[in-house]
């Protein structure tokens, strides 16, 4: 079995642990990217190893750093809790049991922003700085945040996915993965699209204008 330089050296990062630190930054980054504006309050539930040893591995500061839009190698990580407070973001932490199926390095973030915006994001750090987002606003999903990603909240209406894929085809943009989750038939749904390149602004504008679309967010990789 061969090994890459990443396997041997690990990701570029600040902190003692790729799982507890670099991965936690990326979870915070994804959660922040789902907000239209910077959140005012973030309550973070830490599960398993994150709860048991996270503070010693700077998981709390790493999550806050990601919420501030910092990347894993940003030296400001060590001061992120103080920087978040200075930016008017109230961050609190608590231990939680998220169930046997949850990865040991899992956090669930509850974000409250201006104009009653609220999101709940569950993500796991699965090793080597790699993360997996498993839930957004109660919708089950699965994406890593390592590719340019579009998140769309929309009604569960016939033909919606065909319109999306048609737009991508017209723009000659390749879809790496696409996943849709819904609460129940004909109600609310969430579609996550991972792209091979940053989505064109014109495509995002057209996606927002589809009648069923209620919100759209673009997540760039936390490189």
> In this structure, is residue 2 part of a structural domain?
no
When pLDDT is averaged across residues 202-212 and rounded to a whole number, the result is 96
Residues spanned by the domain of 157: 148-219
Q: Which is higher by pLDDT, 9 or 82?
A: 82
Residue pair 29/145 in contact by the 8 Å Cβ criterion: yes
Tell whether the torsion through CA atoms of 58, 63, 67 and 70 is positive or negative.
Answer: positive
pLDDT digits (tens, 9 = 90+) for 101-152: 999 999 999 999 999 999 999 999 999 889 999 999 999 999 999 999 999 9
The one-character DSSP state at 121 is: E
Same-domain status, 175 and 68: no
Same-domain status, 185 and 104: no
Share of the chain above pLDDT 90, in %: 86
Domain holding 201: CATH number? 3.30.70.260
Whole-model pTM: value is: 0.90
How many domains in the chain? Answer: 2
Cα(29)–Cα(23) distance, rounded to whole angstroms?
10
Same-domain status, 172 and 118: no
Same-domain status, 30 and 69: yes
pLDDT digits (tens, 9 = 90+) for 52-106: 987 888 999 999 999 999 999 999 999 999 999 999 999 999 999 999 999 999 9
Q: In what order do the strands lie in the sheet containing 188-195?
A: 175-182, 188-195, 148-155, 213-219
CA 204, chain centre distance (Å): 18
Same-domain status, 98 and 158: no
Structure tokens at 175: 């879809």
pLDDT digits (tens, 9 = 90+) for 171-188: 999 999 999 999 999 999
Same-domain status, 154 and 208: yes
pLDDT exceeds cutoff 70 at 6 = no
Give the pLDDT confidence score for residue 57 in this predicted structure. Answer: 85
CA distances from 170 to 105, 108, 165, 167, 178 (A): 40, 37, 9, 5, 17
Give the pLDDT confidence score for residue 42 in this predicted structure. Answer: 98
């Amino acid at each position: 079995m061969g090994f890459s330089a990443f396997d041997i050296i690990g990701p570029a990062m600040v902190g003692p642990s790729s799982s507890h630190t670099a991965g936690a930054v990326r979870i915070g980054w994804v959660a922040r990217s789902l907000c239209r504006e910077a959140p005012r309050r973030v309550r973070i539930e830490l599960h398993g190893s994150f709860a048991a040893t996270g503070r010693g591995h700077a998981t709390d500061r790493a999550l806050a750093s990601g919420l501030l839009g910092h990347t894993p190698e940003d030296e400001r990580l060590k001061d992120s809790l103080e920087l978040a407070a200075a930016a008017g973001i109230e961050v609190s932490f608590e231990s939680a049991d998220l169930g046997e199926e949850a990865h040991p390095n899992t956090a669930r973030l509850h974000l409250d922003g201006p104009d009653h915006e609220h999101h709940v994001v569950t993500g796991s750090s699965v090793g080597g700085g790699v993360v997996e987002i498993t839930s957004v606003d109660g919708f089950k999903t699965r994406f890593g945040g390592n590719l340019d990603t579009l998140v769309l909240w929309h009604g569960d209406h016939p033909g919606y996915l065909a319109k999306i894929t048609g737009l991508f085809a017209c723009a000659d943009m390749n879809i790496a993965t696409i996943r849709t989750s819904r609460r129940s038939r004909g109600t609310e749904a969430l579609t996550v699209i991972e792209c091979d390149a940053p989505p064109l602004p014109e495509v995002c504008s057209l996606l927002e204008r589809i009648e069923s679309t209620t919100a759209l967010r673009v997540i760039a990789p936390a490189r």
